[in-house]
């Protein structure tokens, strides 16, 4: 049987989410481990928290594929008495490779944003304008909805703990702009292309004020809820790719992580 290494898995991931689609400030790719290391099992997750690292190790995986990079900015020390250093030490001690596909997985067709659109039931999904690639998208609802009914629909569709609605006035929603994670920078662009509402996470106060002034509803469903659906979707994509390549790789996925925010 062919020996599969981290390099083989990285090549598959780079076909699924080409690295060149990542934003300049991003840090995707292999962040922990060696390309030469053998892989028999992968653990797919959104983040690499202590809990995810422990679950991956316990599952017998040799590689974690995550959406969010475990190392994002320059590391100036490796303190094992601090959370990140302790986590990295545990991963290295257990020969665990960690690979991240971040904004490249957001942008690519079939990636994080398209999975978000599917979850909330949008159709006729397109990039903004004539852009070949874009983090944000715009789509349509099968039927018009009020702002409150749409916010409730998003909450239920994403199994979110809560959503925050910015109600911009008494008008219904047919076209919806969206960007998973933190995408408020695209609200005005979505409005320009005809959206009556926008779905994202991590909305700030003044961004909400601006949305009201520009007459576009916003549903903030949170960073976690707008991105977590990619975990199962990516696991399924990898299973299909490995089947085509005849890679005998087992895939486990994180099903227990929860949003760090709770509504009281």
User: Residue 69 has what pLDDT?
Assistant: 98
Tell me, yes or no, if the two domains 6-105+227-253 and 109-221 fold the same way: yes
Model confidence pTM above 0.85: yes
Where are the chain's structural domains? Answer: 6-105+227-253, 109-221
Which CATH code fits 109-221? 3.40.1390.30
Q: What is the pLDDT of residues 94-134, one digit of tens each?
A: 999 999 999 999 999 999 999 999 999 999 999 998 889 99
Q: What is the pLDDT of residues 137-158, one digit of tens each?
A: 999 999 999 999 999 999 999 9
Instruction: State the pLDDT confidence band at 1, using cuts at 50, 70 and 90.
Output: low
Structure letter (DSSP) for residue 19: G
Q: What mean pLDDT comes out for the span 224-237?
A: 98
Please, which residues bridge with residue 64 across strands?
43, 98
Element containing residue 173 per DSSP (H, E): strand 173-182
Q: State the CATH architecture for 6-105+227-253.
A: 3-Layer(aba) Sandwich (3.40)
Structure letter (DSSP) for residue 33: S
Hey, how many other C-beta atoms are within 10 angstroms of the C-beta on 236?
13
């Amino acid at each position: 049987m062919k020996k599969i290494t981290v390099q083989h898995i990285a090549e598959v991931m780079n076909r699924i989410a080409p690295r060149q689609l990542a934003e300049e400030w991003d840090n995707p790719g292999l962040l922990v481990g060696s390309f030469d290391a053998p892989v028999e099992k992968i653990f797919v997750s959104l983040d690499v928290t202590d809990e995810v690292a422990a679950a991956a190790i316990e599952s017998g995986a040799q590689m974690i594929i995550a959406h969010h990079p475990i190392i994002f900015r320059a590391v100036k020390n490796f303190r094992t008495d601090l959370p990140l250093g302790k986590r990295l030490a545990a991963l290295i001690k257990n020969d665990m490779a960690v690979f991240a596909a971040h904004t490249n997985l957001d942008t690519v067709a079939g990636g994080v944003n398209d999975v978000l659109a599917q979850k909330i039931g949008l159709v006729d999904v397109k990039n903004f304008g004539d852009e070949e690639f874009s983090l944000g998208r715009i789509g349509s609802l099968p039927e018009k909805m009020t702002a409150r009914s749409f916010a409730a629909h998003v909450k239920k569709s994403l199994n979110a703990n809560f959503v925050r609605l910015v109600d911009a006035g008494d008008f219904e929603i047919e076209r919806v702009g969206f960007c998973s994670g933190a995408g408020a920078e695209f609200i005005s662009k979505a409005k320009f292309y005809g959206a009556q509402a926008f779905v994202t996470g991590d909305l700030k106060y003044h961004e909400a004020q601006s949305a009201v002034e520009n007459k576009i509803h916003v549903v903030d469903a949170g960073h976690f809820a707008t991105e977590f659906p990619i975990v199962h979707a990516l696991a399924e994509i990898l299973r299909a790719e490995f089947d085509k390549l005849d890679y005998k790789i087992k895939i486990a996925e994180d099903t227990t992580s929860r949003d760090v925010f709770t509504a009281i």
